[in-house]
Amino acid sequence: MNHKPRFLFLSLFIAGTLHAQPSAPGNYLLHASLLRASAEAVQRKESHALPAFKRLVKDADKLLKTTQSTIVDKPQIPPSGDKHDYTSMSRYWWPDPSKPDGLPYIRRDGETNPEARDIPDEYHYGRITSGTWTLSLAYYFTGNVEYAKQAAHYIRKWYLDSATAMNPNLNYSQYVKGRGDGRSSGVLDGRGIHRVVEAIGLINGSGAWTQDDQARMLDWMKRYWEWLRTHPNAIGESKATNNHGVWFDVQAVSVACFVGDFKAARGILERAKTERIGKQIEPDGSLPHELARTRSRHYVMFNLEAFSLLATYGRNLGVDLWNYRTDDGRSIRGAYNWLASCINGDREWEWKDIDEPGWHRYYFVLLHADVAYPDARFGKLAKRFVPDKGDSDLIHLILAR
């Protein structure tokens, strides 16, 4: 199989199917001009693009040989009695040692109870979303339709095939033993759906994703969109004042765009100015809700990752979150400046941290900031921070950096 970029086909593909403005179906997070710049950099064999391109093809080739599990493969039966319902256990809750049966479980923030890993839906869903993301991007950059076919296969198995499809709800996500069957915070488990939405936009028109697939996926998404707007767990998550609230917005905007409800998507983005930036970021740029956690660095990065995605949606949908600033100085840029001061050693990290976050999350948020604020040199800071690991990161192709 030849995996060299098919540049003539690639140029036609870029010109004909990607859109800087919303369309249905289409891309709402990925930006056409940045992808086009990366494709041209790959064609010219530029050093900043080739390592990521080679890794992308290598990872996609592995996925061509991989069989993904589905939601019905779990051994557990959800409270509904239907294996098609997504189920997960909240990872930071443990048996109460003072109770004979351990119930109700008690919270130990940052410490993962290995029992949570026994329910595989979260793991399988993560593989589906990341796999379709990789495969669809590999199709974009190579024109190899086998990647599109595999991405379409993954999506059908998880969402559309009657024998294996997930029901459009997260009713039983992140349950806690002795405290109910599901929780608002469990809506966080669905955050990867934005990757599926973008993947469909990339493979649509390949022949691998049909009009019938699109129609059935639209039906699934409409039902899930209704769940996100009406279920008590989803409503509760939308009111979260930490990273959960921002990630809810990312998920809701992506689904709203897919179903064509751009008015609602823009409404969510507008409210994020006051409800997310205004309430989560301090005037000095710190994020106190995340700094209060036992894994403070991880959760600061996790929240900034969500802010970066949300602001990128805003850029593509005409709502400027990157440059929004409250009257008292709260802003996403301020949060990045605060982070940079910590990385540079100008500010000591004085908050509790029981582990170190992975390098990728730092790299992801700093390169996003480099696109938004090219004058601030966040990209150079990212490369200095992870000089031996970052060159092959997929973010280089997505952001043309």
204, β-bridge pairs: 209
> Cβ-count burial of 131 within 10 angstroms (0-12 exposed, 13-18 middle, 19+ buried)?
buried
- Sign for the pseudo-dihedral over CA of 115, 121, 127, 129: negative
Q: What is the pLDDT of residue 391?
A: 80
Instruction: Supply 137's token pair.
Output: 């991007």
Q: What is the pLDDT of residue 386?
A: 73
Helix, coil or strand: residue 313: helix
C-alpha 266/C-alpha 261 separation (Å) is 9
Q: What is the pLDDT of residue 389?
A: 61
Q: What is the pLDDT of residue 392?
A: 86
CA 17 to chain centre: 22
- Sign for the pseudo-dihedral over CA of 154, 160, 166, 169: positive
Q: What is the pLDDT of residue 358?
A: 67
Q: What is the pLDDT of residue 385?
A: 76
The CATH number of domain 23-399, selected from 3.40.50.620, 3.40.50.150, 1.50.10.100, 3.60.21.10: 1.50.10.100
CA 107 to chain centre: 26
DSSP state of 277: I
Domain residue ranges of the chain, discontinuous segments joined by +:
23-399
Point out the residues of the chain with pLDDT beneath 70: 1-25, 357-360, 387-389
